[in-house]
Amino acid sequence: MTTALTANKNSTEERGETAEQRLDHLEKTWNDDRRQLQQEVSRAVSEASYLRDTIQALRDKLETVRIGEQEREQAAVAAASEEILQLKAAIQASRDTLESQRVGESERTQQALAGVNAQCQQLKDTVQALRDQLDAQRRQFLDESSASEIRHERELGLLRDTIQQLRIALETAHARTA
């Protein structure tokens, strides 16, 4: 501003102006400078306000993005947690099914073994009964054979006795006739 005053002073002296005219001219210059300065201040205030609004809008947008990211992260974590829970439930259901199948298979195996053991025992009992029956028949046959043999031996003994008696009688009869 001092350079403007110096320039004005030199130009007024050259033009031959009066002090009042110079004062008017200085006031006008000062008013023009003031107006220009006020316009620049106003522009600077507007620009500062615009920049504050822009900064606030960017902060709001950044906060919205951050909140959106947090919500997406939370949704992703919740989805992953839900999937983990579903997988755990599926695994537990598979374990339960496998366990029940194993138990069912074990029961079927035990039932089959019990059935086979019962059949084996039944066969053993049948074999033992047949052996006992065979032994009884053999004893009966031996008893009958022994009794028959004894009877045959008695009959044979009787026949021998009879033959002996007949021989004696025949020899006696033959010795009487001779």
pLDDT tens string 106-140: 888 889 889 999 999 999 999 999 989 988 888 88
CB 26 within 8 A of CB 8: yes
Rounded to 10 degrees, the C-alpha dihedral 101/106/110/113 comes to 100
Q: Give the C-alpha separation, 138 to 150, whole Å.
A: 17
CB 9 within 8 A of CB 23: no
- DSSP secondary structure string for all residues of 138-161: HHHHHHHHHHHHHHHHHHHHHHHH
Residue 32 in this model has a pLDDT that exceeds 80: yes
Residue 54 in this model has a pLDDT that exceeds 90: yes
Tokens of 17: 């102006």
CB 29 within 8 A of CB 4: yes
Q: In 3D, which of 116, 121, 147 has the Cα closest to residue 108?
A: 116
Enter the pTM of the model: 0.40
Residue boundaries of the structural domains of the chain: 2-177
Looking at residue 106, its pLDDT comes to 85
Report the percent of the chain where pLDDT is more than 70: 90
